[in-house]
Chain A
């Protein structure tokens, strides 16, 4: 459904941030994009919806090359791609409802959106999504009155309001505590499965990624160095992605109060995720 072929990005005169990325994501597949800071993860997902213009290569969404389109066609491509951010990127002075409805901006005209006269079906969908992410009573709160986890739930609802085919998720849990991180990851992955959404999730926390995704892609210095199932991530492969580190030593005894059967639990690979 999404195919990247030969995608490269060079920021003015510096080295290649991405070089020659080939990646195909079938409908409904959730992949984690892992790699050290500066490997090009954020650049890669922003090249997909063209918040960053790729220097070279093609990005095809359902066989339409979206690196060529402009204006209304570009906006139409973007509305099929939902995006979730590390710092939530809510408009803090707007209410929760307005933030969620802003996911519909590409479907309504300027004046309707300016006067907040969204179609009834949009309002129904917004309430439905707010209930799904557990915030149905908060619709009238202002964005800056919410906690981090709540803001990210609003961000998720906003992305899903677009009725996207694909979600781009940039470090969804990097600003959250461990428990909230797991809840947010579970929510995103459950929603993707319910709605048959494909997703690319940039994430630092390898253990968390392994628990929730179908496929892991490792990026190092702008190149794909691993592409496989989460079970295949061995210490040797982690070293090839992140560099030398003793991956077998359990870092701490994080008490996982969430339900995950112990025998099922993946080896405790601990990654120094937040340098």
Chain B
């Protein structure tokens, strides 16, 4: 008992002593595991490489500065492709994720077996990285923007679907009850009581995923799925670090822009 009688006074503790000791033991074990992992990593690292890491970094940055602005013009088209891959891919992903989320949410699913199917699709989409989807798709549909869009879409289904079905499960049940009580049909109940409640979450999730996808799309070129990653890969292979720096700056500017757009959208919907 957390309450003990001592000299006629009641003493209260947060937990039973045994439970408290168990928690301390748990922390102890966690700490030991951390130290052990640290030692393991250290043994497998060649620390000699790190002695001149600062010089290497300084030299690399030195070669990147100043960026080679002359290639900016030729990067505009791949950059536009990247933004398109991200945007169209996100839209396609949302289009598929939206109905899946309603099937996967416990309170809107028509049947438990459909829920299981929807959850399986969502999980498998989430378990594979966009870059790996792109590698697979390049061999299936050939290299280029189309493979990139599909890769982004397939990865986004799981992300948007999961967050959206969680939002659906968290809605207030009473408005749903009230709209049902008016005699409204199933689709009307969704449109009038569920949809208004998840709209802010839906907008937030969508622009957040688009934001992530802009960044992911910049790497898809590495496996031939279109976009600015191809140019970056070529520049790295030629050790043209000044050109790599230009690509970095352009990606950075694009990401900042997408952050700004996301913030605006979220603000507008709330």
**Which of A16-24, A28-36, A89-97, A245-253 touches B?**
A89-97
- Are B178 and A89 in touch, CB under 8 angstroms? yes
CB within 8 Å for A78 and B191 given contacts A91-B175, A91-B197: no
Contact with A along B169-184 (1 / 0, CB 8 A): 0000011011111111
- How many Å lie between the Cα of A78 and that of B177 in the bound state? 12
- Are B185 and A75 in touch, CB under 8 angstroms? yes
**Which of A57-65, A103-111, A214-222, A256-264 touches B?**
A103-111
Tally B residues with Cβ within 8 Å of A: 20
Tally A residues with Cβ within 8 Å of B: 33
Chain A residues with CB under 8 A of B180: 51, 78
CB within 8 Å for A114 and B191 given contacts A78-B183, A91-B197: yes
Q: Does any Cβ of A come within 8 Å of B69's Cβ?
A: no
Q: Does any Cβ of B come within 8 Å of A5's Cβ?
A: no
- Are B192 and A110 in touch, CB under 8 angstroms? no
Interchain CB contact (< 8 A) of B197 among A82, A93, A114: A93
- Are B174 and A89 in touch, CB under 8 angstroms? yes
- Are A106 and B175 in touch, CB under 8 angstroms? no
Chain B residues with CB under 8 A of A158: 178, 182
- Are A105 and B184 in touch, CB under 8 angstroms? yes
Sample (17) of A-B pairs whose CB atoms are under 8 Å apart: A51-B177, A82-B181, A83-B178, A83-B181, A85-B177, A89-B175, A90-B175, A91-B179, A93-B199, A94-B192, A98-B192, A102-B179, A102-B192, A104-B182, A105-B188, A114-B191, A168-B181
Nearest-CB residue, chain A, relative to B173: A89
CB within 8 Å for A103 and B182 given contacts A93-B197, A110-B191, A114-B191: yes
> Closest approach, in angstroms, between the C-beta of B195 and any C-beta of chain A?
9
Chain A residues with CB under 8 A of B184: 75, 102, 105-106, 113
Chain B residues with CB under 8 A of A67: none
> Closest approach, in angstroms, between the C-beta of B198 and any C-beta of chain A?
10
Q: Does any Cβ of A come within 8 Å of B187's Cβ?
A: yes
Q: Does any Cβ of B come within 8 Å of A76's Cβ?
A: yes
Inter-chain pairs besides A89-B178, A91-B196, 4 sampled, C-beta below 8 Å = A79-B182, A79-B183, A106-B182, A110-B187
